[in-house]
Structure 1
Amino acid sequence: MTTQNAINWPEKYLPGTGDNFVSNEVVVRGVTAAQVWRLLTDTSTWESYYDNVADISFPGGGGPVLADGRDFRFGTFGFPPLAARVVEFAAPAAGTPGRLSWTARQDGGPDERLDVLHAWLVEDLDGGRVRVLTQESQIGRPAAELAGQVPNPMLNGHQAWLDGLLRAAAR
């Protein structure tokens, strides 16, 4: 029996307790967790393989590479740039998955407020395979509106991010 690693969820963002939750996963051969991790954590590469992100900045300095506790901003899904902070950062190592999570927020009135946790798990598997799991839990009216659309734009958008990331890692 094989068990799979899972995202570490703070209670506030526990899947199924917010307004929108999406989960995307791919297992492929031909790339390593280290190759994926390098592209995922270097925000200067994001726009080269994912067209739903823009205006990435680091108001407090640092960057473009993400690190634990690093603040950054980015636009996505038509929202103005969201204020984000890395809350979990652990590079993949032998037998240990890479873990990256950030919170992102949009302030405003009740109709605009958005609070999310976007998490990634990147791990090498036996047989020369890599597993990449990305999940996001969202709170707020904009999240509920996304969840009510069929298909869910967040689910499709994150799949495009995941597919583009893996194509870029394979190059």
Structure 2
Amino acid sequence: MNEIIWPADYLPGTTANFASNEEIVAGVDLAAAWAALVDTSAWPAYYENASDIRFHDGSGPVLSAGARFRFTTFGFPVEAEVTEFIAPAAGQPGRVAWHGWVEGDAESRLDVHHAWLLETLDGGRLRVLTQETQTGKPAEALATTRPNPMINGHQAWLDGLLATARRAI
């Protein structure tokens, strides 16, 4: 199985917070899952924690390499730029990642790297992995909050994505 490709400054275990969610399921089409993931206009329909999505550069609503967008999630207004965008192809997983940040001073600034990996596995299975690393004081607080809002929120996103892909078949 493949893994997330991390920028050096966001390597898990070296940041204030890290969240990892993964599902391996049968009967879900990779193309349908990818389409629902990269189309940000679909996010609010299956993930209630994403809203106010806007693109700064005239692109969108479909993510693409280098796209700049903004959205609200976990109560934060996040500015983001797509840093990795590789559509799935035969023998190659789909990858999309963005650097996101919340402007602020030393107490309120938050930086994240959020990545998704979608790949087919033998036996007609689909693997969806989403991971995020975070730096900043808000990330330190999130890391110690129980239940963990990042794990739970990203699981809701993953579950909604898979349910949407199932309906598309």
Query: What letter is aligned with 1:158?
Result: H
Partner of 1:50: 47
TM-score, L = length of structure 1 = 0.96
Residue of structure 2 in register with 1:77 after alignment:
74
Instruction: Select which of 31, 38, 41 maps to 1:41.
Output: 38
Partner of 1:27: 24
Secondary structure of the corresponding residue to residue 34 of structure 2: helix
Counterpart of 1:113? 109
Q: What per-residue deviation string (whole Å, max 9, x for no partner) do you get for residues 87-120 of structure 1?
A: 0000111111000000000111111100000000
- Secondary structure at the aligned position of 2:140 is classed as helix
Correspondence for 1:169 among 151, 165, 169: 165
Other structure's SS at 2:146 match? coil
Percent identity, aligned pairs only, is: 60
Task: Map 1:145-164 onto structure 2 (within 5 A).
Answer: 145-164=141-160
Q: What residue ranges of structure 1 are gaps of 5+ in the alignment?
A: none
* Structure 1 residue 18 displacement after superposition: 0.6
Q: Which amino acid aligns with 1:121?
A: L
The one of 120, 123, 126 aligned to 2:119:
123
RMSD of aligned alpha carbons: 0.6
Partner Cα distance (2:65, 2:30) in 1? 19
Deviation of the 1:68 alpha carbon = 0.3
Helix, strand or coil at the partner of 2:118: strand
TM-score (norm 2): 0.97
The residue that corresponds to 2:129 in the other structure is 133
Structure 2 unaligned spans of 5+: none
Q: How many residues align?
A: 167
